[in-house]
Amino acid sequence: MHLTRNETEKCVMARIVRQKKLHQKNFTLKQFGTWAKAETAARKWVKVTLAELPPPIGMKNRMTSRNTSGVVGVRLVHAVRRREDKEYPDWRWIAFWPGCPNSGGIGWSVNKYGDEHAFVLACLARKLESVDRDAIDAEFETFKTTRDYKRLLKLKQITPA
């Protein structure tokens, strides 16, 4: 899991990452004699080091560099709808999370709700981890009068084209 056999350098590398910091140690064949002994020593080091380090940060609420919306678990999706030989652009704010009952998440159309309203609804759905639109709408009615509403809108990094 944390071990890599580096045949070029003739060593076993043990690596652990916690809080974006790499903890690494090399176990060379020169030092241990055989691959098996080097791997055994590396496993022992990993076991001791893991006990000393804090637990890993889960991916569920981690902001990554690929996030373009500004809120974890919320994305802006573009689609083209066709009806009666005409094409209509359709932008939607989608909320998603691990274990969401809807495989693609739950979305709100920018055309129907407006950009800001749809964005906030998606953020609330992500926060509540709910696909119940009535519950999300009820939460929105109380949320829109708070300071957090403006703070949430400041997080939004993109708008539909």
State the pLDDT at residue 45.
Answer: 96
What is the β-pairing status of strands 3-6 and 21-28? unpaired
**Is 80 exceeded by the pLDDT of residue 61?**
no
Beta bridge partners of 3: 14
State the pLDDT at residue 41.
Answer: 97
- The 3-state DSSP class for residue 73 equals coil
Nearest to 104 by CA among 73, 132, 83: 73
**Is 80 exceeded by the pLDDT of residue 53?**
yes
Q: Are the CB atoms for 156 and 69 separated by under 8 Å?
A: yes
DSSP sequence for 93-109: EEE--TT-SSTT-EEEE
Question: Alpha-carbon distance 123 to 151, whole Å?
Answer: 12
Residue 24 — pLDDT band, cuts 50, 70, 90? very high
**Span 41-64, mean pLDDT?**
88
Per-residue pLDDT tens digits for 131-158: 999 999 999 999 999 999 999 899 888 8
Per-residue pLDDT tens digits for 127-137: 999 999 999 99
**Is 80 exceeded by the pLDDT of residue 63?**
no
State the pLDDT at residue 62.
Answer: 76
Per-residue pLDDT tens digits for 69-120: 888 899 999 988 888 888 888 899 999 988 889 888 999 999 999 999 999 9
Map out the domains of the chain as residue ranges. Answer: 3-52, 74-155
Residue 1 — pLDDT band, cuts 50, 70, 90? low
